[in-house]
């Protein structure tokens, strides 16, 4: 009998290091990686480019989403950070994107990163992680990702922290699929940990799961 393909859920708030961990874990395990945030970002981008407010009904754009929308280079900009969390609060948008996420992992398994992967998209995932860090650490990490080593301090740091806290609040307080740690998810607090240390911790937990399968 062949074991069913391994599905690993990686959830958590903005810029906590989910993507870094999920990508590295996928490479280590030879599994495909799915960044579900890109789906919401691409829907927000379609809204903005059509001259529409992402807070308005985005269901038509979600249904019309094409593979090439995900390959755009302008999805990780502040306007789309905010727009993604506005379209993601809409139940019709989430419903339109659900099957796409499930189909991706159904045949081969996958490491999937997002906000509701362990709670809604794959409630039966083999291993679930909830990755987090303080808002300050996360603001600094996101800044480093987009601006390299240019310093972030004073009022600019305060503004970046506020933006992250506002997005977390929107993601956690929405009615449909809010950002919440699944009861059976393993929490990893990543303040003070390097990407390699987080990967080691997560790898140990996946290995433990394998010995139990």
Q: Is 114 in the site for ligand CDP (CB under 6 A)?
A: yes
Pick out residues in 34-73 that bind ligand CDP (CB under 6 A): 36-37, 40-41
Which residue lies nearer to ligand CDP by CB, 40 or 129?
40
Under rule CB under 6 A, how many of the chain's residues touch ligand CDP?
17
Chain position carrying tokens 């099957």:
99
> What token pair was written down for 104?
């991706």
Q: How far apart are CA 96 and CA 33, in angstroms?
A: 20
201 annotated to bind ligand? no
Q: How far apart are CA 193 and CA 195, in angstroms?
A: 7
Q: Is 202 in the site for ligand CDP (CB under 6 A)?
A: no
Pick out residues in 155-184 that bind ligand CDP (CB under 6 A): 167, 171
Report the residue number whose CB is nearest to ligand CDP. 37
Q: How far apart are CA 8 and CA 31, in angstroms?
A: 10
> What token pair was written down for 31?
């599994």
Residue from 84, 110, 125, 188 in contact with ligand CDP (CB under 6 A):
84
Strands of 119-159 (E only): list them.
127-132
Q: Is 133 in the site for ligand CDP (CB under 6 A)?
A: no
User: 66-76 burial, b if ≥16 CB within 10 A, otherwise e?
Assistant: eeebeeeeebe
Q: Is 116 in the site for ligand CDP (CB under 6 A)?
A: yes
Residues near ligand CDP (CB under 6 A)? 14-15, 19, 36-37, 40-41, 81, 84-85, 88, 114-117, 167, 171
């Amino acid at each position: 009998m062949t074991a069913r393909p391994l599905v690993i859920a990686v959830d958590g708030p903005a810029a906590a290091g989910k993507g870094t961990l999920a990508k590295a874990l996928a490479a280590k395990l030879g599994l495909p990686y799915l960044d579900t945030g890109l789906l919401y970002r691409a829907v927000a981008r379609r809204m903005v480019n059509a001259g529409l407010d992402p807070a308005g009904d985005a269901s038509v754009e979600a249904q019309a989403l094409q593979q090439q929308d995900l390959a755009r280079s302008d999805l990780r900009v502040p306007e789309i950070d905010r727009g993604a969390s506005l379209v993601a609060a809409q139940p019709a948008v989430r419903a339109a994107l659900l099957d796409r996420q499930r189909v991706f992992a159904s045949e081969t398994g996958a490491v999937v990163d997002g906000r509701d992967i362990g709670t809604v998209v794959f409630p039966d995932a083999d291993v679930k992680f909830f990755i987090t860090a303080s808002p300050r650490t996360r603001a600094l990490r996101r800044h480093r990702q987009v601006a390299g080593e240019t310093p972030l301090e004073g009022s600019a740091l305060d503004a970046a922290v506020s933006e992250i806290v506002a997005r977390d609040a929107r993601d956690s307080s929405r009615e449909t699929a809010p950002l919440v740690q699944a009861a059976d998810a393993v929490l990893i607090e990543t303040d003070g940990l390097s990407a390699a240390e987080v990967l080691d911790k997560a790898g140990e937990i996946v290995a433990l799961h394998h010995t139990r399968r």
